[in-house]
Amino acid sequence: MTRHISILVSSALMLLILFFRRDLVALFSADEPLISIASAGFLVVIPAMLPQNGRVVYAGCLRGAGDVQYIAYTSLIGVGILRPLLTFLFCFSLAPLLPALQFTATGSWFAFLIDTPVRCKLLSDRVRSGRWTKSG
């Protein structure tokens, strides 16, 4: 039930951000090149919102059930290893090769876009498997 609610809320937020991304950035800066780059960053983040919220829901369920060790492992893999490696790849290795994609500014968001569904999948598989009932 919580996952369904998160999908509805995420969908609404995705639409708001999609249509008002430039206005959101303009609240913090009037610099047009910065608004352009930050707006592009929003376009990268939007597809990650559903799996991000799913990850939060599944992690909350597992945390509430006491399976915090698995959540720590997935966080270590995603945030401690996968995301930094991907950020380095996008921001430093690919940015000079693909300047039109503005990886210097959006590379870390592309890493987030890849890391988030991976962790969501790991956590949802854990919830569905029932192995968390035997942890402890």
The rounded distance, in Å, linking the Cα atoms of 119 and 115 is 6
Tell me 136's DSSP state.
-
Give the residue numbers spanning the domain of 21. 2-134
What percentage of the chain has pLDDT greater than the value 70? Answer: 99
Question: Can you say how many angstroms the Cα of residue 85 is from the centroid of all Cα atoms in its chain?
Answer: 15
Number of structural domains found in the chain: 1
CB atoms within 10 A of CB 96: 9
The rounded distance, in Å, linking the Cα atoms of 58 and 62 is 6
What string of pLDDT tens digits covers the 136 residues of the chain?
888 898 999 999 999 999 999 999 999 999 998 899 889 889 989 999 999 999 999 999 999 999 999 999 999 999 999 999 999 998 888 888 888 777 888 888 899 999 999 999 999 999 999 888 875 5
Q: What is the pTM of this model?
A: 0.83
